[in-house]
Chain A
């Protein structure tokens, strides 16, 4: 994770060093205005907590700190934005050696479960409040998510690597220490819902917390 933090730190330093003249306030004093359409690029570290069938089916319940997200938004002359992005997350859990029985058979081994997700999505956001330092939003991300799901027992595993439809309702905010600067911190919560109708699964879901940095330009 070290390099990820270095990247976020560098963006932070970069952002603070930007000239204040980058953006001018509108008549209401709001800087990131609808009158100034532009882009926002953010880079986030993700903490994921398994929910739903993923947890209930005893697949993986341990939280993941291995994940990153990169997304772009274009803000229009209205309180909405459209964009896209991608992310990567890795979940894993080890189950210590135990015996599992079925009708007429039994197996003893350790188990390892893995889930890697790679969402590719488009996003839509709405910004209800004009505020220069705290700029919240609600939104949704929709796309095709690549999943690599592995159920391993001993040295054998069953793998499902496939593309699934997924969506992520989201709330979040941009926090700008310098209202005139082009830099901000981002905090987001996305409920990652991947449709997954296989076996006793209906979904692969996680509650993901994103902490990152953004450049607005």
Chain B
């Protein structure tokens, strides 16, 4: 059986730190010529989706400047590649709508038996007992955490998409033309030519989280040399 699963992260290598679980993933339309893009705009704030933050915490994300930090970082990355930031009224060639998803994940750690012992975990040879015939026999019954335990952790995923400006305007025009009552199946498609995902497990230290997120945004652009003008 082959399956893609959520790993129960913290069971692994002793040397692993939270940043070892950070993933930066980008994918793009290989048929598209990014040199045809000149101008861009990034939405005025980062969209925030979360299943555990309180409304107050969500507000703080904007009032304490986190949204602006992420937005500025993305704008600067695109500028550094040679694109020009414009306003919506100037019909940008592409538009970016950064979305941050903060979710609480529940995972199950199983302890199915001694031979599936997790790395670095040698509980299985815990107990041996003496037998009067002068031989040792292993006593396998001993296992400190037999069964399963649940634990939760939080992940953050920042998604940055380059939406084709013309396709967005066509879509908006269609919404206008149909007064918002059009059949969704007839709606013109919005083209995304590049998508970047920055994902990590959220730690207790806000500075560390922020630094890893910023590093991930940089990595997304480093990974995509074809974006450079």
Q: Does B16 lie within 8 Å of A106, measured CB to CB?
A: no
Is residue A153 within 8 Å, beta carbon to beta carbon, of the partner chain? yes
- Among the stretches B33-41, B83-91, B116-124, B169-177, the one at the interface with A is B116-124
Q: Does B1 lie within 8 Å of A94, measured CB to CB?
A: no
- The residue on B at minimum CB distance from A103 is B30
Partner of B12, one of A41, A88, A104, A112: A112
Q: Does B30 lie within 8 Å of A215, measured CB to CB?
A: no
Query: How many whole Å from A165's CB to the nearest CB in chain B?
Result: 17
- Among the stretches A2-10, A29-37, A130-138, A186-194, the one at the interface with B is A2-10
Which residues in chain A, 89-118, are within 8 Å of chain B measured between CB atoms? 90, 92, 94, 97, 99, 101, 103-110, 112, 114, 116, 118
State whether A11 and B27 are in contact (beta carbons under 8 Å apart), knowing that A92-B13, A106-B223 are contacts in the complex: no
- Chain B interface size band reads 35 or more
Is residue B61 within 8 Å, beta carbon to beta carbon, of the partner chain? no
Q: Does B219 lie within 8 Å of A88, measured CB to CB?
A: no
List the B side residues contacting A146 at CB < 8 Å. Answer: 115
- Among the stretches B63-71, B72-80, B134-142, B178-186, the one at the interface with A is B134-142
Q: Does A104 lie within 8 Å of B28, measured CB to CB?
A: yes
Q: Does B4 lie within 8 Å of A90, measured CB to CB?
A: no
List the A side residues contacting B219 at CB < 8 Å. Answer: 99, 108
Partner of A97, one of B7, B20, B138: B20
List the A side residues contacting B155 at CB < 8 Å. Answer: 155
Contact mask for chain A residues 41-71; partner B; CB cutoff 8 A; 1 contact, 0 none = 1000000000000000000000000101010
Q: Does A155 lie within 8 Å of B16, measured CB to CB?
A: no
Q: Does A108 lie within 8 Å of B223, measured CB to CB?
A: yes
* Chain A residues in the interface with B (C-beta under 8 A): 1, 3-4, 7, 10-11, 14, 18, 41, 66, 68, 70, 88, 90, 92, 94, 97, 99, 101, 103-110, 112, 114, 116, 118, 146, 148, 152-162, 198, 215
